[in-house]
Amino acid sequence: MPSVPSDSNSKGAPEAVEPERAEGDPAEQASATQLSGDEERRQITGRAGVVAAGTLASRGLGLVRDQVLAGVFTRAETDAFFVAFLLPNVLRQLLAEGAVQTAVLPVLSETREKHGEAEARRFFRAMRGLSLIILLVVSVAGVLGAPYLVELFAGGYHQYPGQFERTVTLARWVFPYIFFMGTAALGVAALNTYRRFVATSFAPALLNVAFIVFALALPGWLGARGDERILAMAFGALIGGVLQVVAQWPSLKAIGYFERPSFDFRHPGVRQALRRMAPVLVGVGVYYVDVVLARRFLSELDLGSQSYFAYALRLCDFPQGIFVMALQTATLPSLASLFARGEREEVAKTFSYGMRLALFVGFAATAGVVGLAEPLVVLIFQRGEFDATSAHETARSLMALGLHIWMVAAVRQLVAVFYAMGDTRTPVLVAALDLAAFVALALLLRGPFGHVGVSLAVAGSSGVQMVLLWYWLGKRLGHLGNFEILKSGARSALAALLAAGGAYWIAQLVKGAVGSDWFSRLLPGLAGAGVFCAIFLVAARLLGSEELTAIGRPLLRRMRRRA
């Protein structure tokens, strides 16, 4: 992408504003929308820190959830759960997090900027009413149509006796989860518009708490009744969805958005949001055709392939969610506000700043996951029903999927700019080309490489998406800061490669020096992860990485203030 001078978070730049300032009353929130471009960028790392802390709690509990899932249930049971839970999750991304966050949030920001708080609340109430109707219809349709959806996603399960029927039963129980998550997603849009990230960031952890509790408490009771033990996870999903909705209520009440929904579908904001939402739905839908095809391809391979892919994807999502997704969440309101005020140059500078931070984290996560794939999988999952073969196959998938982490980090920043500008068509076109690349690669690679080939296809298509989005954004905005991004990315990549090399060597050294008991199996992963973090931080500091300072300074400041 084209370049702009880098003036954010360089040495001597002011420190990031404390996140608590973004959690004030509505009057303070109103003034927040008038921040200058420099002030918006200074607040991004602070906001991202709040989101990252909540996401870290959720993803950490998610790993515990997957450890419990892997240890308690068989691979056939977890294969069924991953497909069944994917069905409402796809719709959650499509109807809730995809369309709501990228279409409703910018319109809500624009309505506040141009028409004031009262009109923004009226728009939100109308969107709430429309959302509830859509989610109710979708939930009922999903329960009734579960056999057809499972056929679409996992028709290959017919080859294993009882596997298709188990997945259909589980899907019918878990599908109403979309109603609660869709309701929560609209609340997230309102709270993020007001820069209130605490409730929206920490509430998802409640889902994983529910999963863990039900996975430990119910399987034995269900099995004794003659029911499928894996139904415990469906009950966990439903209770977790309810908890996430309830957790938002105090924060929504504080900003004046805890009101009854209306059915004023003629509100101009509703029509504008729906116009934006249509291409977003198509774009996210095209992306999830990738997911459907990936799951379909995996269902036709050996039993366990779904689980290996899902566990590997979970480990890739962990570093992305801690900061990459948090950074996008924190950046989008700033981009939307700047673009609503017509400050295109500030949009470009804010994008460049966010991209440098995203690549700093993305390169580190990619190198760490690929270099330490098997030690990490053994450390986290190998126990109970999850044996050495499962660990090895998951690690193979993880090495392939891990290659796409830094690309996804870049894509999230690129897409956020398009949506902030109201351009939802370009991401749709790119998503269609990404789909074509995925299908071609998956068909080419699944034969010789099995489930690893599907993972490689995901990584390859992510690269195609990143390159195309970057090219077209450059055409739209012109001078974006490519040179600064390239210099920053080179420093980050070099530090990550040095860390990965040192961590891999230490992990292999420890593995050869210890025994094979359960405790000894943990040591290579622990030693490798510790060495990776130490080398990366030291190398980044020696290479003069400004992103390390940008991320670390707000954290150190908060620690000093609480000491």
pLDDT of residue 95: 61
Report helix, strand or coil for 34. Answer: coil
The whole-angstrom separation of Cα 19 and Cα 164 is 48
pLDDT of residue 45: 54
Domain residue limits at 107:
73-300
* Of 376, 427, 327, 406, residue with least CA distance to 530: 376
Find the mean pLDDT for residues 138-145: 92
pLDDT of residue 12: 32
In this model, does residue 373 exceed pLDDT 90? yes
Find the mean pLDDT for residues 68-93: 86
Find the mean pLDDT for residues 145-172: 91
Find the mean pLDDT for residues 83-108: 74
Find the mean pLDDT for residues 368-383: 92
Is residue 154 in some structural domain?
A: yes
Is residue 114 in some structural domain?
A: yes
- In angstroms, the Cα distances linking 282 to 107, 220, 310, 432, 462 are 19, 43, 25, 9, 18
pLDDT of residue 351: 82
Angle among Cα 143, 149, 152 to the nearest 5 degrees reads 175
> Regarding predicted confidence, which is higher, 218 or 272?
218
pLDDT of residue 28: 41
pLDDT, one tens digit per residue, over 307-363 is 899 889 888 877 766 666 666 666 666 777 777 777 777 777 888 888 898 899 899
In this model, does residue 205 exceed pLDDT 90? no
Is the torsion defined by CA of 89, 92, 93, 97 positive or negative?
A: negative
In this model, does residue 562 exceed pLDDT 60? no
In this model, does residue 305 exceed pLDDT 80? yes
What is the DSSP secondary-structure string of 520-556? Answer: HHHHHHHHHHHHHHHHHHHHHHHTT-HHHHHHHHHHH
Query: Of the ranges 124-138, 382-396, 471-485, 534-548, which one carries the lowest mean pLDDT score?
Result: 471-485
- In angstroms, the Cα distances linking 551 to 5, 57, 196, 411, 487 are 20, 18, 20, 20, 18
In this model, does residue 300 exceed pLDDT 80? yes
The whole-angstrom separation of Cα 50 and Cα 197 is 7
Instruction: Using CA atoms of 116, 118, 123, 126 in order, give the dihedral in degrees to the nearest 10.
Output: 180
Is residue 269 in some structural domain?
A: yes
pLDDT of residue 1: 37
SS (HEC) of 279-305:
HHHHHHHHHHHHHHHHHHHHHCCCCCH
Is residue 23 in some structural domain?
A: no
- To which H or E segment does residue 327 belong? helix 325-340
Is residue 208 in some structural domain?
A: yes
Query: Of the ranges 163-177, 186-200, 241-255, 400-414, which one carries the lowest mean pLDDT score?
Result: 186-200
Find the mean pLDDT for residues 68-73: 90
- Give the chain's domain count: 1
The whole-angstrom separation of Cα 480 and Cα 421 is 15
pTM exceeds 0.75: no
> Residues with Cβ < 8 Å from 413, sequence gap 6 or more?
327, 328, 331, 351, 354, 355, 358
In this model, does residue 299 exceed pLDDT 90? no
The whole-angstrom separation of Cα 48 and Cα 153 is 35
Phi and psi for 246 in degrees, rounded to 5?
A: -65, -35
The whole-angstrom separation of Cα 563 and Cα 249 is 31
pLDDT of residue 94: 65
What's the token pair of residue 131?
């959302």
Instruction: Using CA atoms of 221, 224, 226, 230 in order, give the dihedral in degrees to the nearest 10.
Output: 40
pLDDT, one tens digit per residue, over 35-66 is 555 555 555 555 555 555 666 677 778 788 88
What's the token pair of residue 209?
């708490």
The whole-angstrom separation of Cα 370 and Cα 329 is 26
Is residue 216 in some structural domain?
A: yes
Find the mean pLDDT for residues 200-228: 87
In this model, does residue 204 exceed pLDDT 80? no
Is the torsion defined by CA of 54, 185, 355, 454 positive or negative?
A: positive
In this model, does residue 499 exceed pLDDT 50? yes
Is residue 250 in some structural domain?
A: yes
Whole-number percent of the chain with pLDDT over 90: 33
In this model, does residue 176 exceed pLDDT 50? yes
Which of the listed ranges 77-91, 301-315, 394-408, 507-521 does the model predict with the highest average pLDDT?
394-408
Find the mean pLDDT for residues 391-414: 91
pLDDT, one tens digit per residue, over 6-42 is 333 333 332 332 333 334 444 344 444 455 555 555 5
Task: Answer whether 311's CB lies under 8 Å from 377's CB.
Answer: yes
| pLDDT, mean over the chain | 81
Is residue 256 in some structural domain?
A: yes
SS (HEC) of 211-262:
HHHHHHHCHHHHHHHCCCCCHHHHHHHHHHHHHHHHHHHHHHHHCCCCCCCC
Beta bridge partners of 386: 383
- Chain centre distance of CA 512: 36
Whole-number percent of the chain with pLDDT over 70: 80
Find the mean pLDDT for residues 128-143: 91
Query: Of the ranges 89-103, 298-312, 494-508, which one carries the lowest mean pLDDT score?
Result: 89-103
